[in-house]
Each structure stands twice: as structure tokens, then as C-alpha cells.
Structure 1
Amino acid sequence: MTSDILDEIKKEILAKLPKDTQVTKVEFEGPEVVVYTKNPQVITENGDLVRSLAKELRKRIIIRSDKSALLGPEETINKIHEIVPEGAEITDIYFDTVTGEVVITAKKPGLVIGKYGATSRNIVKNTGWAPKILRTPPISSDVIGKIRTTLKNSSKDRKKLLQRLGRQIHQGSKYPNDWARVTSMGGFKEVGRSSMLLQTPNSRVLLDCGVNVAAPDNKTAFPYLNAPEFSIEELDAVIISHAHLDHCGFVPYLYHYGYEGPVYCTTPTRDLTTLLQLDHIDIAQREGNPLPFNVKHIHKAIKNTITLDYGEVTDISPDIRLTLHNAGHILGSAISHMHIGDGAHNLVYTGDFKYEPSRLLEPATIRFPRAETVIMESTYGGREDVQPSRNSAEKEMMKTIYKTLKRGGKVLVPVFAVGRAQELMVVLEEYMRHGMIDEVPIYIDGMIWEATAIHTARPEYLSKDLRDQIFHMGRNPFVSDMFKKVQNYNQRKDIVESPQPAIILSTSGMLTGGNSVEYFKWLCEDERNTLIFVGYQSEGSLGRRIQKGRKDVPLEDDDGRTKEFHVNMETKTIHGFSGHSNRRQLMEYVKRLNPRPEKVITCHGDPKKAVDLASSIHRSYKIETRTPINLDCVRIH
């Protein structure tokens, strides 16, 4: 069946290509149709031809050179340096002989691409190699380096995966697409361990696979992979909405469990997910509570991840076509639009989303080709969940910081390493640069520095304002001298013992572990200091207990003995920095969805909030709503 489809596609492609094109092979690699040719310049010089072919075939078309048409590596490197302007600042060039790609890493990748792709096409014309262009992070990133090395060393394995996947995707539907259903496997009427299984007559797709890091036991920490509907052998694909652990933290277990298929997400999500998963393993081992997977399963996930840009339409199974859209939550966060069957049904899964512009990101997408069913978060879905504006939140925070610094204190902000930390860095840099708060060291601890490095490598995913600053004004707030990287225990001790006021951003955001707990123990008994919460504190976390007014907290001291720490420091919760939509934004999002859905299902929220949001949507917009609990199955078509 697959070979018949491929033969048909090959005939159509050959009929459309110029007569002098020397095609040697056409094959499926995952969702893509790859055309190998001895003279690729004939096709690549006509960009409209490839676009029109892709549109007509409704497939992604990739042009690659036959091995016989490739220039030698040394000559190719010389040619690239001749063709690419010096201003691009190329930092690395290596060759993937399996795919016929030359991977070029540069500080200014736009100059390697050239206007309308002219420079990269020139590379193909003169060398035969297809350029894959990567950005050199302005801040060195260990994680990006490891990922690129893993992909470089696993090229043959990736090609085998893609070829196998291509055969599965293009085998055609065996059964009519007359139904579709979703099983809630985690994160329904709760926050944490988000996961759901989409089933059609021809496909099984897992949407998110997270953990609840604040759960008291394994029973409530992980998704219900023992649900009767779930079979690892039948799973076609995994889609990850974003990199927070409650959405991606259990993916490596799938590979430990025997999964061999792909994970789909954006490139920043892949990079940030790897960072957070590695840290999760490290913390669990240090705390003597090892996870049911290890680093090798994270590497397997990297090798099997297929990254997509926003708006890129991709077949992921015989009857499901996936498009990712901006969710506005954290870097690379995505709303998943799934076109099921030949227009039989369209499902939109928001993941966590923010329907408001922030300093870091553009607001979540509201326009889709079709959207019969929407599954949306309800974290702040209760009628009382009305947060202040971002502007007033910033002013409140700066006022608190100003007062703390004036009395000679230190400000501790436990913060999520991904998203919230970078949002605060942009705000602090601007206020300090304009002299609106005293210029003091801003210490960056934990994973925040590495997460920020990943942000600097993917500026195309940032807000328009930040992109303008970075690309047109030559000012990148993340690399400001105001920020000081903290690397070890001794540096932390020096910061705490110094009489100089300071601002400390440190993980974890809920004081559930990490270096923020150490800072808290050292700083909490001095009334000059301030603890500022800027994110959600889950039930059971140390952050929630302090937030509720707990004044005596038993924790291990530096000698490993349990000690009661008395909270004398000022504690403040500032709402408005959340990467989640508040109640008003959630309602407004549904109101403005285009087209309006027939059904809305709420998830990722405490029971009352999930129900409150669903009933309000039904009353206000006359849309059918559902609020499943974990292990419920909802037929959506």
C-alpha cells in the first residue's frame, strides 16, 4: 500500500519537475517526501516550484543531492566561506553524510540564509550540500551542545526511524473515520501530570505526558499509563505542548517502557524539555527518590523528537495532521491543532496558554482553519481568579524591591527556571537601566542561566518588541552585565553573608527543592529581607505553606539536622506575572476563537475552577462543555 502511494507521488513529482532534473530516488522520511537528485540547483533555484508541489500534494517536500553530486568536505568549507559574508560569524561547520546536509552554526544565521534564501541556495548550487543553519547562542548552552552532539552521532538511527515512520504515516487509513475520543490520563480536575490519549479508528496519539513534582506518592505523581485504552505498542505519536515538567516530565519513561516512535514539539520545547528532565533526574537521585527512567531514555527521546515550527502542517499518522500554534505561555509553547480524517473532525488542545501579550511572548493564537472540539486549561478558571494587569504587577514588584534594597535587605524570588525567570530578567534590566531601582547585583542561580541561554538561541520565538531590541537595536537584555551567574555553594554563602543588598532569582519556584530553599533558610530570619512569590504554589509545597502564613518551618540545616526556621522576612505574593490566562482572559479567548467550537473540555485546574469555567462558558456562549476526571473517556466525534 505504502509503495503504491509513493509510486503515485513520484509520478506526480516527476511530471512537475523541469525535464533536465536528474532524480535518482524519492522516499518517505517521516512526514516528508524526500527527492534525491544529481542536479538539485535546478529545483532549488525555483522556490515556487517546491512550494506549489507541496501544496498540491499536501506533503512536505525536501530536496537533497544524490551523493554523487556532493563536493568534498574541505572544498565545501572553502566555498561556504567564500559565499557567506564574514559578518555571519560562522562558528562551526560539519557534514551529515546520511542526509546530505551541511550543518552551519553562526552568530548571525540570517546572513547565511541571505535575502529570500539567496545565500543558502548559492551554497546548494556550488557544493550540492543542503545547508542546515543553526544559531550560535549568545550565552553558551551546555544543553544545546549536548543535543546537537546527540543528533550528529545518531544520524543513521534517525534516518531509520524516519523511514519506518514514513511507511506508517503513508500506509493509508484502514477504517472509516467515523469516531474519535479522548481519554483523560492525568491533569483533569487537578494541576500536574497532564496527559491524554486521542484515539481514532486508525491512530493512537498521546497529548503530553507529565509528572506532578509536588505529589506525595507515585500513585498521584504519574499519568495513568495503566488505563485499559492505553497500549504502548499501538502508540503512533506523542505531542508535547511545552517544556514544563507537568507536561513533559514522564516522556522518558515511555522509552524505558518500550516506545519506539516520535515525539512532536517545537525546537525550544525540545531543548528546554531536555534541560528540565535532566535536572529532574539529578534532584530525584540527590533526594534518594530515583525516577523510573534514566539519562539514556532522555537521549532516546532526543533522537526520536521531530521539531516543528509554528504553522507547519505535518502528517503524524494515517489520519491525523498536526499544526502547532503559539500558546504564549513559555518559549516554544504550542497549541496543537489536529485535523482528523479527511475533515471528519478538528481538535484543538491549548496546553497552558496566555491570551495576553507579555514582555517575553506574543499572545496565544485564536484563529484556526476549523475547531469542533477545544480542550483548554482552567488553572485560573474560577470566578475569583482575576489577576492585576502586567503593568500593575511590575510596579508592585519594583515598589517592594525598592523598599527592601533601601533598608539594606536582600530580595529572594523563587522562580520557575523557564518563562517566569526570563520575564523578570527583562523587567529588572529595564527598570535598573532607567535608574528606577538601585543598581545592585542580580544573581541568577539554578537552571535559570541555562534556560536563558536557550532563550537567546531562539529569539525568533520571542515577542516582537524583544526581537526588535535584539535584531534592530543591538541590545539583548539577557546578556546584560547586571546579571551574575551563581555556580556553587561558596558563592551562595558569599552572597548571603555580604552586607550589600541584592536580588536573587533561584529555582525552584515552589520551594520544593533546589537552591531557592537554601537561600530561604539563610535569609528567612532577617526582617530586612523579602521573599516574593510570582508563580503558582501547589498544595503541599513549602511555598504554599509559607504563602498561607506559616511562621515556623522544619527543614534540614547545613549539618543535615532538622531545625525549625522562623520566618521573620517579609513575604509577598505578586499576581500578574503568571504565564497562564486569568479568568477574564480564558473567557475572552473562547469568545474570540475563530471559528467558534461546538464543544469545550476543561482540564489542568482544581475541580471547582474546572467546573466553574466550563459552566460559565456554557451559560455565556451556549457551547457544550465537559469537565472529565482522570480515566474518563469522552467521545468528541
Structure 2
Amino acid sequence: MIKRESFVDDILKEMREIINQMVPREAKITDIEFEGPELVIYVKNPEAIMQDGDLIKNLAKVLKKRISVRPDPDVLLPPERAEGLIKEIVPSEAEITNISFDPSVGEVIIEAKKPGLVIGKNGETLRKITQKVHWAPRVVRTPPLQSQTIYSIRQILQTESKDRRKFLRNVGRNIYRKPELKSEWIRITGLGGFREVGRSALLVQTNESFVLVDFGINVAALNDPKKAFPHFDAPEFRYVLNEGLLDAIIITHAHLDHSGLLPYLFRYNLFDGPIYTTPPTRDLMVLLQKDFIEIQQSNGAEPLYKPKDIKEVVKHTITLDYGEVRDISPDMRLTLHNAGHILGSAIVHLHIGNGLHNVAVTGDFKFIPTRLFEPANARFPRLETLIMESTYGGSNDYQMPREDAEKKLIEVIHQTIKRKGKVLIPAMAVGRAQEIMMVLEEYARVGGIEVPIYLDGMIWEATAIHTAYPEYLSKHLRDQIFHEGYNPFLNEIFKPVANSKERQDIIDSEEPAIIIASSGMLVGGPSVEYFKQLAPDPRNSIIFVSYQAEGTLGRQVQRGLKEIPTIGEGGRTEVIRVNMEVHTIDGFSGHADRRELMSYVAKVRPRPERVITVHGEPQKCLDLASSLHKRFSISTRAPNNLDAIRLK
């Protein structure tokens, strides 16, 4: 350990000499340190560096590191004084709605309805703010819907800034430690999500580093930890956790089958390193993890983790935007690319060793444009191994075209409303719900729908997070929001359901309505309550718009069961009689279907030498692997959980 610390100190000493030569003396450098995957230069006079727009870029080229310049903590004005000065400097027409501080990075986040006025002509107002308060200003557009999740995350980062800075420095020193061995081999082990859907977890190992991609839970199998949890019993994983050797965890997206067990690691002190993901994924996974706790409690179960463990997830998360390249260990470099699945979902690209091997892990992805997102990225600088999902990898897994799916959705809604019924759409609160909202909003805008659309569960809060990250949405939606000045998420036809009384009023009402409620598989959440009470009435309809996993109530209903036993009040067994119409419209899935999966491999550049199919039922993984091998003459495999595959 001492040798490694000494090695990092020697690197920093060499870098300091170069930086001192290139940075003007007036900047008054006070410290240089690795913090996470960045080299941070602390200065007392940051405006001296800001005057030269190319200085940071030139430093990054010379040092071959990501550079951040931050004000020395000693020169930062107290937040109260800084806030007052900012409000004096920025014209009132900018309509500042919130000012918050992140001491761990020396930033002041200024939310305003007109961010251009906060920036000023050629950045003049920003420079003035920097000169007066010394905090580095970050300007964001005020989200039209306020998110409690985003607010609470900012509060955590602010109150835990000292611990977080210490954590980031430890991470930086670990990344740039002296390598023990030259990278010569790579292997992967499936800890979950291989030939199954749920509990995704992939261990990537070199003779220097250990990195985990995703760490999810199979919510449908909670009664059986052996099927719900990733394989803690895998010898290499047990060894890595026991020895504290896990360098990083990368999360592809927020859904619980990919991120739901992260807080569990912190509850039992199994991990204390960095979690890499996009900003929207961080926010959404916190929302989903909190909801998971609440659902377990409401079902009378002991939650797998506590709110304080989710707080640790926030403290340990380092966010990256698409396309940003970061070192995450001595021999691994990470880049996240758009996956087109849900807000912030990412394809993980790992450049391993000095050109030794390149791996892309798709996570869940979509390869056609949707109302919310652009298609998944298919271009990488280098690529030898592609690890891709196979949820709809079977030879007959062709989804209905989007246009036909939308027509079918509207048709079922109109038929149900005509007979004075209610339409229940169980939907994942993140992704599918917003996709359906955009379809219904367009029809409502032209007068095609006139009944209220109720949003229940986490859907309203998840939608608020979507409005906070318009840059992650499709070009069409961004144009609507920024250039046309119209935000479809804010249409008055959408009505949030605040509590169980409002929910019961909607159920009891004789008026027709559309209800979008979580969860999408009828596993916990308000959708279950709506289903129980609406199912006996033949005037009502339920429309499934997403995948229904084995063992879920949603799969039972989808298969056509007319009587479903359930546990009622007092532990008594009750029977739900399903007289409502049951429809499945698969064209709204956020997963690539068979056609898209084959097309992705055809178009991905460069063409990989090997494709590994995961995240699908056994036959679908095998079918897709076989078809890819036949069509493209490349090596393919559909491994089981616990299989270890050497890539190099």
C-alpha cells in the first residue's frame, strides 16, 4: 500500500511541474490531486485560468488526463453570502428559482427559467459570479416539474461534501495506483442475468482489476434468495468482496433488475468504491430503490436495505455523460453511450489494457427511434467482444410496428370508454409510462381523447426527473420543449393521484378514465390495487405494454387465467375474478426485438469478433446466438450463470 501511495505521489509531483509551467502564476495553485477519474487543480484565483479558453484543453492533451479546475475551499464565500451576491449580479428577468451548493466540487448550481441571462453575453455574467463568490457556477434550466428525488440527492451531496471529497481522493489514488502486473488476460463471469431475465450482474476481471457491470435483483423471485440475488457464492466474486478488491461498479440503467441490490452491498459493508452511471440513472435508481423499500414494508416484509444505504449509493456515485472517457482502474477505461431504453440508459464500453481488448455491454437497449429517445449507439472506436441482451431474441419475437401499436392502443381505449369502462395500463414508472404518456398526449391534443389520464405510483415523480434532463430525450422532444416552447409532459389531461383516497375515488367513480399505474408486471404498487377492484367488471380493460416475467401476477393475467387466488386482509385467501378485457400490445417495449437485435449486429462498427447473448430466457439466448453465428460467421455464445469465459 505504501509503495502504491508513493507511486501516485511521484506521478502528481511530475504533473505539478508541468502544470506550474503552463498555468499563469496569478491563478495561485494551492493543491493538485486525483479525485475519482479526474485530476483536480485547486486555485485561489480561478478567473486567471478562465481567461485562456484553451488552457484546460492543452493541459489535458499534455497530461493525458481529464482536468478540472476548482476554487480552493478557503476562498469560497459562505453559501448565504454567495447566494445574496448571485441574486444581485443576475438580472431578475432570469427568474432564478433555486440556488444550491456542492462543496465537494466547489460548485454553485443556479436554476433559472431563462438560463441565458444567468450566463450573460459571451459568459460575462458567469465570470462576474466567479470573481465575486469564487464558487464555480453551473447553470441549469428550471425543470417545469419539481423533483423531490433530485432535491434530496443535492442535499446529500451538500451535507456529505467532506466525506465525499475524501472518498473521491481515495478513488483517484486507486485508479492511478502502480499496476502490479501487466494486463495479459481478461475474463467475464455471469453472476446473474445469463439465460434469464432479472438480477443482472457481470464480473469483468483482468490480472490487475475487478469491475462489476450492473447489480440487480429479480423482484419476481423475492421469496427465493437463490433466484432473486446475483451469485454471491461464485468463488471469484466471494474472493473479490472479502478482499475488498472490487475497483468499480457500472450501472447501465435504473431498473431494479440492473440496480436494485446496490444498497445491499453498503448495508453489509461489502463495497466502498465508486459507482459509475449517467446523472439521470443515478436519480431514477434512487427513486426506484426507495419505492422498493416501501413496497416491501407495505407487504409486511423486512426490507433488504434501509434509506441510509441508498444514501451511501448517492455518496459513492460518480456520474458521466454520454461520450465522456474516464479511467476507472489502472487498466480499464470507461465510456457510456446512449442505449435508447429508458432515460439515461447506457451501453458500457470498456477499453482494457493498452489496446489489449475492447468490450461493449449493451444492457437493455432499443435500436429504433421512439417518442422518447434516439436509437442505441452502434459506433465505437474499437470493439472485439459484444455482450448483448436477448429479451426478445427468439426467432418469432417480432414486435408490432410502433404505428400499429399506437393505433391498437387508441382503439382499445375508445372501445372501453364507449362502454363506460376504465382502462388500466400497468407500466414501469420509468420509461414505459412516459412513452405511453407521449402517445396519449398527442391524441388528446387533437381531440382524440377527452377523459382524464390518471398517473399513480412513482410515475409523476419519474416524469419530473425526465423534465430535468431534456438533453437525454429525442431530438423531436427537445425541439418541442426548447424551440416551440411546448412541453408535452405538462398537458393538463395528466392528473397525478396523491393518495389512496383519491385512488379509491377513481375506482368508485362511474366515469370512464385511463389509469397508468406502476408496477408494470402487477408486482406491488398501485396497479395491483386497481386490478383487484377493476378486474370483475367486463366494461373495463387492462392493457399490458411491457414484458411480463415468469412468476408475476401480470404473466398469469396475460395467459388468460380467469380466477386468480390472492391474499386478502387478515391473511385470508381471496379469488380475483377476471372479467375485464385483457390486451397485450408489445410494440411499446423498450427492448430491441429480434429484427432490431439482428440489425444491430449488422450495423455495429467495428464488427465484433465475438458476440455473447445474455438477459433472456434460455431458448431465446441460444436461438439468437445460433442465428448470429449463421448469418455473420462470428463466434457466439449463450453462457449460463457462473460460466467464466476468457476473452483474451
Regarding TM over 0.5, the answer is yes
Q: Structure 1 residues 610 and 85, CA, compared in 2 at 3 Å: closer, same or farther? A: farther
Q: Say yes or no: does 1:543 pair with 2:524.
A: no
Match of 2:451 in 1: 440
Q: Structure 1 residues 296 and 67, CA, compared in 2 at 3 Å: closer, same or farther? A: closer
Distance in 2, Cα, partners of 1:115 & 1:603:
51
Per the TM alignment, residue 210 of structure 1 is displaced from its structure 2 partner at its CA by: 0.2
Per the TM alignment, residue 78 of structure 1 is displaced from its structure 2 partner at its CA by: 4.2
Match of 2:273 in 1: 261
Distance in 2, Cα, partners of 1:458 & 1:523:
35
Per the TM alignment, residue 313 of structure 1 is displaced from its structure 2 partner at its CA by: 0.9
Distance in 2, Cα, partners of 1:536 & 1:97:
42
Match of 1:212 among 215, 218, 232: 218
Q: Is the 8 A contact 1:415 1:534 kept in 2?
A: yes
AA in 2 matched with 1:585: E
Q: Is the 8 A contact 1:103 1:131 kept in 2?
A: yes
Q: Say yes or no: does 1:554 pair with 2:565.
A: yes
Distance in 1, Cα, partners of 2:122 & 2:633:
47
Residues 432-466 of structure 1: CA distance to partner in whole angstroms, max 9, x if unpaired? 111123x1110110111111111111111111111
Per the TM alignment, residue 92 of structure 1 is displaced from its structure 2 partner at its CA by: 2.4
Match of 2:463 in 1: 452
Q: Is the 8 A contact 1:172 1:319 kept in 2?
A: no
Q: Structure 1 residues 407 and 198, CA, compared in 2 at 3 Å: closer, same or farther? A: same
Match of 1:46 among 24, 48, 52: 52
AA in 2 matched with 1:594: R
Q: Is the 8 A contact 1:175 1:201 kept in 2?
A: yes
AA in 1 matched with 2:539: R
Residues 485-539 of structure 1: CA distance to partner in whole angstroms, max 9, x if unpaired? 1122221221112111100001111112211111111111111111100000011
Match of 2:382 among 370, 394, 417: 370
Q: Say yes or no: does 1:159 pair with 2:165.
A: yes
Per the TM alignment, residue 96 of structure 1 is displaced from its structure 2 partner at its CA by: 4.3
Match of 1:247 in 2: 258
Q: Say yes or no: does 1:580 pair with 2:587.
A: no
Distance in 1, Cα, partners of 2:531 & 2:218:
23
Per the TM alignment, residue 476 of structure 1 is displaced from its structure 2 partner at its CA by: 1.1
Per the TM alignment, residue 429 of structure 1 is displaced from its structure 2 partner at its CA by: 0.8
Match of 2:3 in 1: none
Q: Structure 1 residues 418 and 94, CA, compared in 2 at 3 Å: closer, same or farther? A: closer
Match of 1:624 among 613, 629, 635: 635
What SS does structure 2 have at the residue aligned with 1:229? Answer: helix
Residues 234-254 of structure 1: CA distance to partner in whole angstroms, max 9, x if unpaired? 101000000000000011111
Match of 2:182 in 1: 176
Q: CA RMSD of the aligned region, Å?
A: 1.7
Distance in 2, Cα, partners of 1:98 & 1:264:
17
Per the TM alignment, residue 123 of structure 1 is displaced from its structure 2 partner at its CA by: 2.2
Match of 2:4 in 1: none
TM-score, length of structure 1 as denominator length = 0.97
What SS does structure 2 have at the residue aligned with 1:297? Answer: helix
Distance in 1, Cα, partners of 2:48 & 2:290:
45
Q: Structure 1 residues 560 and 474, CA, compared in 2 at 3 Å: closer, same or farther? A: farther
Matches within 5 A, 1:453-468: 453-468=464-479
Q: Say yes or no: does 1:221 pair with 2:228.
A: yes
What SS does structure 2 have at the residue aligned with 1:299? Answer: helix
Matches within 5 A, 1:80-119: 80-97=86-103, 99-109=105-115, 111-113=117-119, 117-119=123-125
Number of residue pairs aligned between Structure 1 and Structure 2: 636
Distance in 2, Cα, partners of 1:63 & 1:451:
33
Q: Structure 1 residues 110 and 217, CA, compared in 2 at 3 Å: closer, same or farther? A: farther
Distance in 2, Cα, partners of 1:55 & 1:501:
62
Match of 1:289 in 2: 301
AA in 2 matched with 1:198: V
Per the TM alignment, residue 473 of structure 1 is displaced from its structure 2 partner at its CA by: 1.4
Distance in 1, Cα, partners of 2:615 & 2:504:
38
Distance in 2, Cα, partners of 1:625 & 1:224:
24
Distance in 1, Cα, partners of 2:340 & 2:359:
19
Distance in 2, Cα, partners of 1:107 & 1:449:
21
AA in 1 matched with 2:589: S
Per the TM alignment, residue 60 of structure 1 is displaced from its structure 2 partner at its CA by: 1.4
AA in 2 matched with 1:283: I
Runs of 5+ consecutive residues of structure 2 not aligned to the other structure: 1-6
AA in 2 matched with 1:392: D
Match of 2:575 in 1: 564
Match of 2:438 in 1: 426
* Greater Cα shift, 325-334 or 122-131: 122-131
* Greater Cα shift, 137-146 or 308-317: 137-146
Per the TM alignment, residue 34 of structure 1 is displaced from its structure 2 partner at its CA by: 1.0
Match of 1:359 in 2: 371
Per the TM alignment, residue 71 of structure 1 is displaced from its structure 2 partner at its CA by: 4.8
Q: Say yes or no: does 1:393 pair with 2:405.
A: yes
Q: Say yes or no: does 1:11 pair with 2:22.
A: no
Q: Is the 8 A contact 1:531 1:569 kept in 2?
A: yes
Distance in 2, Cα, partners of 1:118 & 1:175:
50
Per the TM alignment, residue 319 of structure 1 is displaced from its structure 2 partner at its CA by: 1.1
Match of 2:513 among 494, 502, 506: 502
Distance in 2, Cα, partners of 1:111 & 1:169:
39
Match of 1:34 in 2: 40
Q: Structure 1 residues 221 and 459, CA, compared in 2 at 3 Å: closer, same or farther? A: same
AA in 2 matched with 1:225: F
Q: Is the 8 A contact 2:76 2:133 kept in 1?
A: yes
Distance in 1, Cα, partners of 2:51 & 2:131:
8
Distance in 2, Cα, partners of 1:88 & 1:254:
43
Matches within 5 A, 1:274-423: 274-423=286-435
Q: Structure 1 residues 286 and 73, CA, compared in 2 at 3 Å: closer, same or farther? A: closer
Q: Is the 8 A contact 1:555 1:564 kept in 2?
A: yes
Match of 1:513 in 2: 524
Distance in 2, Cα, partners of 1:176 & 1:194:
29
Q: Say yes or no: does 1:144 pair with 2:150.
A: yes
Match of 1:594 in 2: 605
Q: Is the 8 A contact 2:405 2:586 kept in 1?
A: yes
What SS does structure 2 have at the residue aligned with 1:133? Answer: strand
Distance in 1, Cα, partners of 2:571 & 2:114:
49
Per the TM alignment, residue 127 of structure 1 is displaced from its structure 2 partner at its CA by: 3.1
Q: Structure 1 residues 353 and 567, CA, compared in 2 at 3 Å: closer, same or farther? A: same
AA in 2 matched with 1:304: H
What SS does structure 2 have at the residue aligned with 1:162? Answer: helix
Q: Say yes or no: does 1:483 pair with 2:490.
A: no
Distance in 1, Cα, partners of 2:85 & 2:297:
49
Q: Say yes or no: does 1:127 pair with 2:133.
A: yes
AA in 2 matched with 1:223: P
AA in 1 matched with 2:496: K
AA in 1 matched with 2:432: R
Q: Say yes or no: does 1:493 pair with 2:504.
A: yes
Q: Structure 1 residues 533 and 186, CA, compared in 2 at 3 Å: closer, same or farther? A: same
Q: Is the 8 A contact 1:45 1:121 kept in 2?
A: no
Q: Is the 8 A contact 1:44 1:63 kept in 2?
A: no
Residues 39-60 of structure 1: CA distance to partner in whole angstroms, max 9, x if unpaired? 2112112222212222332211
Distance in 2, Cα, partners of 1:283 & 1:108:
39
Match of 1:188 in 2: 194
